[in-house]
């Protein structure tokens, strides 16, 4: 879950001059990373073998 502190850190890491699009992009990335971390904690991940199997079907 995003917190005010994480949001503040993200904004503080931006350069002095930025666009609204820059902020939105950073927030989307932050949200996706947070979701990925939750997925890992909840075990919602694929093993390397599962990934290779799925990709193998696409790459043939």
pLDDT confidence bin for 31, thresholds 50/70/90: very high
Handedness of CA 15, 16, 17, 22 (dihedral sign): positive
CA–CA gap between residue 13 and residue 10 (Å, rounded): 5
Which band of pLDDT confidence, cut at 50, 70 and 90, is reported for residue 57?
confident
Q: Please give the mean pLDDT across all residues of the chain.
A: 92
11-30: average pLDDT: 95
Judge if pTM exceeds 0.75.
Answer: no
Residue 60 has pLDDT above 80, yes or no: no
């Amino acid at each position: 879950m995003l917190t005010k502190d994480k949001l503040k850190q993200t904004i503080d890491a931006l350069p002095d001059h930025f666009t609204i699009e820059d902020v939105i992009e950073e927030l989307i990335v932050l949200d996706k990373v947070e979701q990925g971390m939750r997925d890992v904690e909840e075990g919602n991940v694929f093993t390397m073998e599962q990934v290779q199997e799925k990709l193998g079907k696409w790459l043939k």
